[in-house]
Structure formats: C-alpha cells, structure tokens
C-alpha cells in the first residue's frame, strides 16, 4: 500500500526528473498543525481544507488525463468547463478556496468589519492562487512566499489576538516552507497545488491581519492584477526575459535541460 501511495504521488517535472508530491502533503500537514496555535478559531481547519482541495486536484487530474478527458487550465478554462456542465477538480478548488477563505475571515479575531471581511477573504484566496501560479519551477513559489512570511512574522507586534494570529500564521507558513526548500530546489519533491495553495493562503491571511486597511487593499489590487495578467502572459517568459528575476529564480536550482514546458 505504501508503495502504491508513493507511485500515486510521483510526477515528472519540467526538466524530466521524477519528483514527489509528498513534499506538498507534508507542507499541508505542517501548516495545518502549526495554525492550530492561532487565536483564530477556524484557521487550522480552513487552511487544512484549502490544502485538501489542492491535494485532490493534484491526485485526480492525472487520472483524468489517463482516461483521455480534456483537462482545463487557468480560471478561464475551469469556469468555461463549469458553464458547459462539467465540474473539474480545478473548478471545485477555485470555488471552494474562496468560500473557505471567507469563512476564515469571518471567524478572525476582532476588530473586523463586513466590507473588509470580504476583502480579507479575497486576499487569502488570491494569495493561495497566486502561489500556485508561481509554482512552475523549483523553488519559485517558496522564494516569494517565504520572504513575505518572514516579514510578517517580524512585523506583527503580537499585542492583540488579531496580531498574534497574524504572527502565528506567518510562522505556520515559514517553518514548513523552509523545511521544504532543499527537496524543492534539488528536484526531489514539489509543492504541487496542495503545498502552494496552503502556503499562499497562510501568508494571505497573515497579511490580512497584520496590515492596515489601505495596505491590504493595495496588496489585494496587486494580487488581482497579477492573477488576471497570468491568463494572458506567461510568468516564466517574463522571468526568463528579465535578468534580475532570472538570476533570483535560478538561484539554488540544479542545472536543467532547456525549459520547454510549463508544468512542474
């Protein structure tokens, strides 16, 4: 049974190397457990649910491919399939993550207001999706999520329940993420949808509780703009054509053959 599970979690990444989604599953477990320390009543369950939706997508999508079914990509593709009456695992994730993020925002420690509950839920869901969009090369999503988590850990003053939850959730993302770095960069494992989604969501929820209202709205605008841009522009192409971004992106990674694919 253990061998079958390992086989189920094996994937071939962009460079043709065999990697394991076990890394992503371990990140989901680590973030979910550490989030239980947060004063936010629902934080652990919300983040675990977000990770579980990503893991279902990770595991079931290859089965759909092998069965000869068309696999939709991007928000446009998933919602297009939904309009045609077909619920993809990606569409279930795209619908389920915002609902869970909204539940987490509504159950967050005070102070909170109705309008900002919606914005905070959107920020958490948007960050979850953006981390997944970045997870196309080894270490890329981690190089964005971990500095953000570290900054939020230091920046949250921890003087009230809301600020303490911001710090606790940033740490919940930071510690498992740091532990995942060696396997990710060496291409032994990958975050997959599960690991990327939960790391992004934890950082997004932490930001929603640590930042001022104007800063949260500004960050939400950036996340929405990047998400919309991803439907038309390849992040990999932009990074590869920008020397500074290309250098940071390649740092710590193994040498690889020509990068011709988008999927890790």
Residue by residue, pLDDT tens for the chain (264 residues) are 556 667 777 888 888 888 999 999 999 999 999 999 999 889 999 999 999 999 988 887 766 665 555 555 655 655 566 666 666 677 788 889 999 999 999 999 988 778 899 999 999 999 999 999 999 999 999 999 999 999 999 987 767 889 999 999 999 999 999 999 999 999 999 999 999 999 999 999 999 999 999 999 999 999 999 999 998 899 999 999 999 999 999 999 887 655 444 455
261 part of a folded domain? no
Q: How many domains does the chain have?
A: 1
The predicted pLDDT at position 157 comes to 73
Q: Identify the DSSP state of 71.
A: -
CA distances from 202 to 165, 207, 251 (A): 10, 9, 24
Strands (E), the chain: 10-12, 18-20
8 is a domain residue: no
Alpha-carbon distance of 34 to 56, in angstroms, equals 22
Does a structural domain hold residue 124? yes
pLDDT score recorded for residue 226:
95
148 assigned to some structural domain: yes
CA-to-CA dists, residue 212 to 89, 95, 206, 223, angstroms? 35, 27, 12, 16
Please give the pLDDT value at position 41: 82
Flag whether 6 is in a domain.
Answer: no
CA-to-CA dists, residue 186 to 139, 250, 256, angstroms: 9, 12, 11
Segments in 156-234 forming alpha helices (H)? 161-185, 192-210, 213-230
Residue 12 resides in a domain? no
Angle 192-210/43-66 helices, nearest 10 degrees? 150
For residue 89, the enclosing domain spans: 18-250
Q: Is residue 214 part of a domain?
A: yes
**What does the pLDDT read at residue 11?**
82
The confidence score (pLDDT) of residue 121 equals 96
DSSP code per residue over 90-105: HHHHHHHHHHHHHHHH
Distance CA 218, CA 124 (A): 14
* 143 inside domain: yes
Q: Which of 172, 167, 147 is nearest to 28 (CA)?
A: 172
């Amino acid at each position: 049974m253990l061998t079958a599970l390992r086989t189920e979690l094996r994937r071939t990444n962009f460079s043709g190397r065999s990697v394991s989604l076990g890394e992503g599953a371990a990140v989901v477990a680590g973030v979910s457990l550490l989030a239980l320390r947060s004063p936010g009543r629902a934080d652990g369950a919300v983040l675990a649910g977000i990770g579980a939706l990503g893991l279902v997508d990770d595991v079931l999508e290859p089965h759909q491919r092998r069965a000869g079914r068309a696999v939709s990509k991007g928000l446009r593709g998933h919602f297009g399939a939904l309009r045609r009456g077909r619920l993809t695992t990606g569409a279930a994730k795209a619908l389920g993550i915002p609902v869970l993020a909204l539940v987490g925002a509504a159950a967050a420690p005070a102070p909170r207001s109705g309008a900002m509950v919606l914005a905070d839920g959107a920020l958490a869901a948007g960050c979850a999706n953006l981390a997944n969009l970045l997870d196309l090369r080894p270490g890329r999503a981690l190089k964005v999520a971990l500095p953000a988590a570290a900054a939020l850990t230091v920046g949250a003053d921890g003087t009230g329940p809301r600020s303490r939850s911001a710090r606790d959730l940033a740490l919940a993302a930071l510690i498992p993420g740091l532990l995942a770095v060696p396997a990710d960069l060496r291409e032994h494992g990958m975050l997959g949808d599960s690991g990327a989604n939960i790391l992004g969501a934890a950082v997004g929820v932490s930001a929603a509780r640590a930042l001022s209202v104007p800063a949260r709205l500004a960050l939400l605008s950036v996340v929405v703009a990047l998400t919309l841009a991803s439907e038309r522009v390849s992040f990999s192409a932009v990074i590869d054509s920008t020397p500074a971004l290309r250098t940071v992106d390649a740092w710590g990674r193994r040498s690889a053959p020509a990068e011709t694919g988008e999927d890790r």
